[in-house]
Amino acid sequence: MASVTIIEFGGTEHEVEIEPGKSLMQIAVDNSIPGIDADCGGACACGTCHVIVADAWFAKTGQTSDEETMMLGMTPERAETSRLACQIETSDALDGMVVQLPEFQM
Ligand code: FES
């Protein structure tokens, strides 16, 4: 089973199964991971699905669109490898990826 690990701000780790074609946000929500609010339902319009991708995996998460970059610009805890989880399409190629959640979503 291909999986990703989502680490809450407090350090609690969740290993969730990848469902190819679904966004990382959708997988997190489906697995009731706390800390991903996803208020806009994946429309890249709320910034409440912010994740910080482990350095080694960042390039594999795909291109960050201008719209996503703009939303991330409003995120106080933005890091070099920040992404919006709703904009990361998962596939088996992301097996083993680790992402960290910020302390707060917007
Ligand atoms: S769910 Fe709203 S920006 Fe990702």
pLDDT at 106: 84
Domain coordinates in residue numbering, the chain? 3-100
Right CATH for 3-100 from 3.40.630.10, 3.10.20.30, 3.40.1010.20, 3.40.50.970 = 3.10.20.30
- Quote the DSSP letter at residue 57: H
Q: How many other CB atoms are found less than 10 A from the CB of residue 38?
A: 19
Q: How confident is the model at residue 6 (pLDDT cuts 50, 70, 90)?
A: very high
Q: pLDDT at position 53, please? A: 98
Radius of gyration of the chain measured on its C-alpha atoms: 12
Pocket test for ligand 1, best of 25, 33, 64, 88 (most atoms within 8 A of CB): 25
Check residue 95 and give its pLDDT: 98
| Interval 50-106: pLDDT, tens | 999 999 999 999 999 999 999 999 998 999 999 999 999 999 999 999 999 999 998
- Which H or E run includes 29? helix 24-30
Per DSSP, the three-state class of 102 is coil
Ligand 1: centre distance to CA 86 (Å): 5
Average pLDDT over residues 38-45: 97
Q: Is 25 in the pocket of ligand 1 (CB under 6 A)?
A: yes
